[in-house]
Chains A and B, each alone.
Chain A
Amino acid sequence: GENVEQHPSTLSVQEGDSAVIKCTYSDSASNYFPWYKQELGKGPQLIIDIRSNVGEKKDQRIAVTLNKTAKHFSLHITETQPEDSAVYFCAATAVNTGFQKLVFGTGTRLLVSP
């Protein structure tokens, strides 16, 4: 089945710096890659997603890149702010009969210091 690895597990940056989180997946048939932000005690919030027919997608300070050949995708956050501090999860679809089940990475705890 699908396996998603995520690095780093923790990331500390200064406010205004950029942050990059990387994920790799194993199933070449995966075609949907969302990123979620989870604040303490809350459910994950979808922040951006990308599909396999696109190499890059950007939404203001957040961007995601996908390399299908290498089977990895990355989240880029520019001009980080303290409110960006949270745990970020990448995920990939595990193609299954009729349902799009997501397989999650292990998470990256991002700390943005003022």
Chain B
Amino acid sequence: GAVVSQHPSWVICKSGTSVKIECRSLDFQATTMFWYRQFPKQSLMLMATSNEGSKATYEQGVEKDKFLINHASLTLSTLTVTSAHPEDSSFYICSAIAGGYTDTQYFGPGTRLTVL
């Protein structure tokens, strides 16, 4: 149980284009999902927290107009990187927690974004 998937697993795009990454909880309903970014050999950095049916909460320094998050259902959250640039190249990972009061975050397999 507690499986989280991401799609795509990797993507290469041209500078200036937008890329959408999907995060799905496969066997549970996720009231809250988190989006992280991880640069090589570094730790996970939280970008934003999304709750189903409401606007995402972004961490300080994360541009909300550049990283659009939609949590339209209890099993799906999407992250859209708009007007991507080479510095946006990174490993993007989502996590999800089930409904109710719980702390356990289950992570997806990550999406490798390369912007040329």
Q: Which residues of A contact B (CB under 8 A)?
A: 31-32, 34, 36, 41-46, 49, 51, 89, 93, 99-102, 104-107
* 0/1 interface trace, chain B 28-62, chain A, CB 8 Å (1 if under): 00001010000000111010010100000100000
- Considering the chains assembled together, what is the distance between the CA atoms of A64 and B104 in angstroms? 16
- Considering the chains assembled together, what is the distance between the CA atoms of A102 and B59 in angstroms? 12
Shortest distance between the CB of A97 and any CB in chain B (Å): 10
Shortest distance between the CB of A46 and any CB in chain B (Å): 7
Contact A32 B110 (CB under 8 A): no
Contact A105 B104 (CB under 8 A): no
Contact A93 B44 (CB under 8 A): no
Shortest distance between the CB of B2 and any CB in chain A (Å): 8
Shortest distance between the CB of A4 and any CB in chain B (Å): 9
Q: Which of B42, B43, B49, B107 contacts A43 (CB 8 A)?
A: B107
Question: In this assembly, does B7 line the interface, its C-beta being within 8 Å of a C-beta of chain A?
Answer: no
- Considering the chains assembled together, what is the distance between the CA atoms of A17 and B110 in angstroms? 31
Contact B43 A49 (CB under 8 A): no
- Considering the chains assembled together, what is the distance between the CA atoms of A104 and B95 in angstroms? 13
Contact B93 A43 (CB under 8 A): yes
Question: In this assembly, does B90 line the interface, its C-beta being within 8 Å of a C-beta of chain A?
Answer: no
Question: In this assembly, does B109 line the interface, its C-beta being within 8 Å of a C-beta of chain A?
Answer: yes
Contact A89 B44 (CB under 8 A): yes
Question: In this assembly, does B89 line the interface, its C-beta being within 8 Å of a C-beta of chain A?
Answer: no
- Considering the chains assembled together, what is the distance between the CA atoms of A31 and B103 in angstroms? 9
- Across the two chains, which residue of chain B brings its CB closest to A100? B103
- Considering the chains assembled together, what is the distance between the CA atoms of A32 and B43 in angstroms? 19
Contact B103 A105 (CB under 8 A): no
Given contacts A34-B105, A45-B107, A99-B32, 5 further A-B contacts (CB under 8 A): A36-B107, A46-B106, A49-B104, A104-B44, A107-B43
Given the interface pairs A89-B43, A100-B97, the reply to whether A43 lies near B105 with Cβ below 8 Å is no
Residue among A36, A44, A101 with max Cβ neighbours from chain B (10 Å):
A44
